[in-house]
Each structure stands twice: as structure tokens, then as C-alpha cells.
Amino acid sequence: MGSSTTVVLRRRTEAPKPGRTLRNRSKSRKMVEEDEYSDTSCEKCGSGEYPAQLLLCDKCDRGFHLFCLRPILASVPKGSWFCPSCDDNKNLTKFPLVQTKIVDFFRIQRPSNSINEFSPGKDCQKKRKRGSSLVVSKKRRRLLPFNPTKDPTRRLEQMTSLATALLAAGADFSNELTYMPGMAPRSANHAALEREGMQVLSKDDTETLQLCKNMMKQGEWPPLMVVFDPKEGFTVEADAIIKDWTIITEYVGDVDYLNNREADDGDSMMTLLTTNDPSKDLVICPDKHSNIARFINGINNHTPAGKKKQNVKCARFDVDGECRVLLVANRDIRKGERLYYDYNGYENEYPTEHFV
């Protein structure tokens, strides 16, 4: 199955307060125009209603509602799109479960050692002891580091699942914000410019975040598994119990000005900085460089059942003067439970009513 049909495409995610709505100002040729295709109906539901949500196959010209497809498409895919019947590339290629390839793919810093032998050095052990001693307190709400899966074979499977999803999405792995030529420079990411102010991440929490990143560099992986669901596309499951207020991951990707992305149909863009000057607003674009955050799905916040599924909170923080976006467990998460957060922050501008 091609990446355009296996990856759930989303509009811009808000964290936590929505800024301006991202709109695609140019009409895609794939979308049904009311005048030309007034008699076109959806092959799934048989209805011709919601013509603005009908997508035409580039091969057979049959129509499909974005929300009737499985997985649901929330925006128009880039490039050509083929319906399930016309898609010649239906088999999802799994990344090889080979240790050396995993080490190279994720750029693990100690490739000379076996993943089976990975263990933190003395300095990291001291820091971990400090990090693990943090007690969950509703008043102080200190962040907790994730507990890596102890079984090295299972960690390899976890990394393989993410590598498979990234390859299908056509993205390279990155665990940091990236600043590419022609996009917003790092100097533009200045937390003090946030329109309504931004919560400053404490020194202890900053150290906990850095601890999590250092563990991943050494091959100590968070207990997360990326799975493919025919309805939701790629999604993330907890592979062990995750305690309330544990850091799940940082939301990363290429940083760019929102103005540069007004007509962009890229998936999963995330608000990074909202200023009093719209020309300085920043978004994170994970279509080229991303981590597991890209595959954590959103809730249907139009239904009580959908809201109950939320177990992850998305929030922006000032970390050493720069804006960063963290995904954090907002309750205890059971092993096997899928991870969900609210794409909309405090408002309901994002169209989630068709989410499963």
C-alpha cells in the first residue's frame, strides 16, 4: 500500500491553544467540484452529499468521501492518489528486524556495542536515579522519565515498528527540532515572543526531558509500539504500563513559518509559536523528519466516548528560551492501550467528528 493511503493525513495540530486556522487556498484537482461532478457519489456510502469531501481516484475517477476511507483521510494526499481497488502497491513493507540496520536507522551512538548490552554509564545512572526519584504530585506535577523496556529483543521490535511507519511515510527519523535552509531559522524560535506567554519548563523537568533523549540515543527505547490499523492507519500502543505525567515524546520535525505553509497540504503540522505578529508564527512540519509523535492519533472530541479515550496531553513549553512541544501521559496508561490526544487544544477548530 502506498504511503498516501497508509498514513492518516491531518491538518495542523494545536498545542495547546489554537492560533489561526491553516487553510489550503488552492483547490486540488482531486476534490470534486460541485459544478463539474454534481452526479458523483461516494463508492463507500453511496451518497453524493458533502461534495467538498469527495476525493477522485486518479485512475478510475470514482469518488470517495475522505471520511469514508479506511484509514480516514483528513486532507488531500500529496501527489497522485489511487483508490484501494486501483492501488498496485498494497503490501506494507516491514523494516527488517536486523540490529545493525536499526542502529544505523536511529543513529544510536554506541554502534560498536550490541543492543543487548546497552546500559547507561555511571553518569547516566546517577541522573536516572535522580529522575526516577521524582514523585508524582498533583500539586507540583513533575514530569517522569519513561521506563525503557528491559527485554532487548522487544526494544528492537519497538524500534522496527517505528522504522516501518517512517519508511511508509517517506520520512527520516529525527528526535530533535530541525532547521532547514529556506525555512525558519533557529533564531526565530524565541519563546518570549509567545502572544499569551508560555509556561517555562522547570530545571528538574528539563533534566528529565534530556534524560529521556539521552536514553534513546543509547538504544534504551520507550515502551511504545507502532501498529497499523485498517481504520486508523498507523497508531501507537503502550507496550508496558505508563504512569501519569510520564514524558511520552517530544513533537519534532522541520520548523517553518506558518505563512510559508498556508497552502501546504502536509500532514500533522503542529503549532510551535503564536505571536502578535502573524509573520513570525511557527509550525512544526514532520513530513520529512519526525519521530513516533507523528503517529499518535487524535480523539473524536465531538463525542463523550471519544473524549474518554484521551490519555495524552500536548503542551508547549519554554525550554531554555526556545519553544518546545511535549506529549505527556495525563493518566496511567495500560499495556496495550492506544495513545490519543486532542488535536484542538482548548477549542474545536479541527474537524475530528469523523475520527473513529
pLDDT tens digits, 278-306: 999 999 999 999 999 999 998 877 788 88
3 state SS of 238: strand
The amino acid at residue 5 is: T
Q: What is the pLDDT of residues 255-285, one digit of tens each?
A: 999 999 877 766 588 899 999 999 999 999 9
User: Given pLDDT bands bounded at 50, 70 and 90, which one contains residue 127?
Assistant: very low
- pLDDT value of residue 132: 36
Q: Is 289 helix (H, G, I), strand (E, B) or coil?
A: strand
Instruction: Give the pLDDT score at 100.
Output: 87
**Mean pLDDT along residues 109-127:** 46
- Please give the order of strands across the beta sheet that includes 322-329: 247-250, 322-329, 312-319
Q: What is the pTM assigned to this prediction?
A: 0.75
Per-residue confidence at 153, pLDDT binned at 50, 70, 90? very high
- Distance separating alpha carbons of residues 67 and 158, to the nearest angstrom: 29
| Per-residue pLDDT tens over the stretch 304-325 | 888 899 999 999 999 999 999 9
Measured distance CA(145)–CA(223) in Å, rounded = 11
Q: Which amino acid is at 201?
A: L
Count of C-beta atoms within a 10 Å radius of residue 154: 15
Q: How far is CA 2 from CA 87, 173, 291, in A?
A: 7, 19, 20
CA nearest to 154, candidates 237, 244, 248, 247: 237
* H-helix segments, the chain: 3-6, 99-105, 122-132, 152-169, 203-217, 304-308
